[in-house]
Amino acid sequence: MLTIPVQFFLNNWVDALTDNEIITYLTLRLMAQAFPGRHAEDGVYLAQEDRIRLFNLDRGFEAHRMLSRYGLIDTIRDRRRNADGTMTKSEEVGAGDIHRFKLDDSVLGQPAIPRVITSLTLFADGADADDAALADAIQRWTANLKNTSTS
């Protein structure tokens, strides 16, 4: 049975995400719940063959990139891969490892709309996933500093 935190609905994530983003998020959530140890340690993954056979999810799975930008998932990629998932000199270094994912339920506690708008603005401004993640980490850190200093 798939469980979904109530914050997914209360903070409007269900309304802020596209259909493909919701399907991808729920698929990764199902995998995380089916393999909790793997999710906690190394992250879960879905090979292309399994995505198609089990979930009929082919190119729509690319929505994981935006879910990562929103902070709903952490993408663990082969360190040889670029932010867009490509690899330079793959003929020399091999095909590389498949992406793995960890869900970050803490982000569900935040209102979805402002977070998605900020992420889409960074995307439109040309920030790659690494730049966007860094900007998000800085924003969260400074927000924590403000909250800590006012307490």
Domain assignment of residue 65, given as a range = 7-150
121 has a pLDDT exceeding 80: yes
Question: What CA–CA distance (Å, rounded) separates 98 from 78?
Answer: 7
Asked whether residue 1 is assigned to any structural domain, the reply reads: no
The per-residue pLDDT for range 2-41, each reduced to its tens digit, is 999 999 999 999 999 999 999 999 999 999 999 898 888 8
Query: What is the pTM assigned to this prediction?
Result: 0.74
Asked whether residue 22 is assigned to any structural domain, the reply reads: yes
Question: Secondary structure of the chain in the HEC alphabet?
Answer: CCCCCCHHHHCCHHHHCCHHHHHHHHHHHHHHHHCHHHHHHCCECCCHHHHHHHHCCCHHHHHHHHHHHHCCEEEECCCCECCCCCECCHHHHCCCCCCEEEECHHHHHCCHHHHHHHHHHHHHCCCCHHHHHHHHHHHHHHHHHHHHHHC
Asked whether residue 98 is assigned to any structural domain, the reply reads: yes
131 has a pLDDT exceeding 70: no
* pLDDT for res 109: 94
Asked whether residue 68 is assigned to any structural domain, the reply reads: yes
Model confidence at 50, pLDDT cuts 50, 70, 90, reads confident
* pLDDT for res 72: 94
* pLDDT for res 125: 78
Nearest to 60 by CA among 27, 16, 100, 86: 27
Number of separate domains in the chain: 1
The per-residue pLDDT for range 33-42, each reduced to its tens digit, is 998 988 888 8
Asked whether residue 88 is assigned to any structural domain, the reply reads: yes
The per-residue pLDDT for range 67-116, each reduced to its tens digit, is 998 999 988 876 666 656 665 665 565 566 677 899 999 999 999 999 99
Question: What CA–CA distance (Å, rounded) separates 25 from 17?
Answer: 10
Asked whether residue 2 is assigned to any structural domain, the reply reads: no
Asked whether residue 103 is assigned to any structural domain, the reply reads: yes
Better-scored residue on pLDDT, 4 or 125: 4
